[in-house]
Amino acid sequence: MLLEGKKVLVTGGAQGIGKEIIVKCLSEGASVHYCDFNESPFKAEMERAGRGPVTFHAADITVEEQVLALVKKVCADGGLDVLVNNAGITRDGMVFRMPLEQWESVIRVNLTGAFLVAREVSAFMALRQKSGSIINMVSVVGQMGNVGQTNYSASKAGLIGFTKSLAKETAKRNVRVNAVAPGFIVSAMTDKLSDEVKAEYAKAIPLGRMGAPGDVANTVLYLASDLSSYVTGQVIRVDGGLVM
């Protein structure tokens, strides 16, 4: 069990990649706390899939007071070993037709929200616990850009810079900070695409297929576990070779 006895906090864990990360951590012996707007309908399934308990917290990571309360509650009964900053949104559109609110909402959730959670968790890990792993979920579009996603790309590029800077700030206190950058991953959003569009996406990927949420969860597991004890400040792409 790679995470035996460890406590993990996952933001945006109610569905998709977040849910898959929770199931993976549970199956490796961790106890998991997750936050979202609403409790996942799959919570019972998550608990059956693993050995450790799952605790839900209703929280909006863009509201500072709610983040403070969340981290205080999670850390109240002991340490916190792993943070997975997974919460994120998209609100796509061409930049010349993008209202300010559409830009700011994505930056607020994907970058400012991640900052607020990481600020509180890193303070606990670095100043009190002197150990831990923080994993920020970014995206390949934060490195390569994408048409119609200037707001999303900017938020993820910013989070990459934040990851590297925080890694330098916390390394001497034995806290590792890394990022996972998924490429085209099968999700509720891609399920809406036609088979023809999916096939076109696959042509751009050297491995010839879109990734599965489990591919991302496996990489998160590596960074959460002691297998990556000498890895910090890195961005690991899970993209089938899309960006080389």
50: pLDDT strictly greater than 70: no
β-pairing verdict for 82-85 and 54-58: unpaired
In tens, the pLDDT along 53-64 reads: 899 999 999 999
C-alpha span between 137 and 87 (Å, rounded): 8
What range does the domain containing 114 cover? 7-184+214-238
**In a domain? residue 129:** yes
Radius of gyration for the chain, computed over Cα atoms and rounded to the nearest angstrom: 17
**In a domain? residue 197:** no
**In a domain? residue 126:** yes
Which residues are annotated as catalytic?
152
Question: Number of folded domains in the chain?
Answer: 1
In tens, the pLDDT along 134-184 reads: 999 999 999 999 999 999 999 999 999 999 999 999 999 999 999 999 999
pTM score, two decimals? Answer: 0.95
**In a domain? residue 202:** no
Which residues are within 8 A (CB) of 239 and not within 5 positions of it... i.e. 6 or more apart?
140, 181, 182, 183, 184, 205, 211
**In a domain? residue 158:** yes
- For the sheet with 54-58, list strands across it: 54-58, 31-36, 7-11, 82-85, 132-137, 175-182, 235-238
**In a domain? residue 194:** no
189: pLDDT strictly greater than 70: no
**In a domain? residue 177:** yes
51: pLDDT strictly greater than 90: no
More confident: 100 or 42? 100
The CATH number for 110's domain is 3.40.50.720
**In a domain? residue 103:** yes
More confident: 157 or 15? 157
Model confidence at 190, in pLDDT bands (50, 70, 90)? Answer: confident
